[in-house]
């Protein structure tokens, strides 16, 4: 398992945080690729032909973008509660990084995995709590609709009664088992 903070992660300094201004996906996704390759140099047993990526919230958006934009590196993804439609997400948060959508519409599109839906060629599991009031389930539904329209198979796991992150112990355990099964199914050689 490799965990890497990409550009834009808070706490690394203003320049690091501002590196995602007007594009919240390209730099952070490249940082994940660089981190993975650095880990492989350090640990030669790492099998780069079977790489899965998971994430929740922004990490979910990044995970979906990983299999859409870099299927040469990432072979399966689990996207949990990802804000995939940047125009639908919290105005203050999005405009802080992307500007006003009427002025910077291309930046919103560039920062959305929905734009790349037709490129999906790897397994993708979308997970979302139906009671999520932070990143509403419409984000996942819109990404799924774009994937369906493009004829790209994927899986959607709705979590009834769950908010932004499942807190019920039994549900969280079941979700972890489901995710593990998904990754084993799609990454085992």
Q: Which is catalytic among the residues 85, 107, 116, 132? A: 132
Q: Does residue 57 have an active-site annotation? A: yes
Alpha carbon 41 to its chain's center: 25
Q: Which is catalytic among the residues 22, 23, 26, 164? A: 164
Report yes or no: 140 and 114 within 8 Å, Cβ to Cβ.
no
Q: Which residue stretches of the chain are H helix? A: 14-18, 26-42, 58-69, 91-98, 105-110, 138-149, 169-187
Q: Which is catalytic among the residues 5, 57, 109, 186? A: 57
With CA atoms as reference, report the closest residue to 55 among 136, 110, 1, 131.
1
Report yes or no: 188 and 182 within 8 Å, Cβ to Cβ.
no
166, 30, 26, 164: CA torsion to nearest 10: 0
Alpha carbons 138 and 83: distance in angstroms, whole number? 9
Q: Does residue 37 have an active-site annotation? A: no
Active site residue ranges:
57, 132, 164
């Amino acid at each position: 398992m490799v965990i890497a903070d990409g550009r834009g992660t808070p706490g690394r300094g203003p320049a690091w945080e501002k590196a995602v201004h007007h594009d919240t996906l390209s730099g952070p996704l490249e940082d994940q690729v660089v981190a993975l390759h650095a880990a492989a140099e350090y640990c030669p047993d790492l099998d780069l032909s079977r790489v899965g990526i998971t994430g929740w919230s922004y990490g979910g958006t990044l995970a979906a973008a990983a299999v859409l934009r870099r299927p040469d590196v990432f072979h399966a993804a689990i996207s949990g509660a990802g804000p995939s439609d940047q125009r639908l997400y919290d105005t203050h948060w999005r405009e802080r990084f992307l500007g006003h959508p009427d002025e910077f519409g291309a930046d919103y599109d560039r920062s959305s995995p929905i734009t790349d839906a037709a490129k999906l060629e790897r397994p993708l599991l979308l997970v979302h709590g139906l009671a999520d009031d932070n990143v509403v389930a419409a984000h996942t539904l819109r990404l799924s609709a774009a994937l369906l329209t493009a004829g790209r198979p994927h899986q959607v796991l709705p979590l009834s009664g769950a908010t932004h992150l499942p807190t019920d112990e039994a549900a969280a355990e079941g979700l972890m088992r489901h995710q593990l099964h998904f990754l084993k199914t799609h990454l085992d050689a």
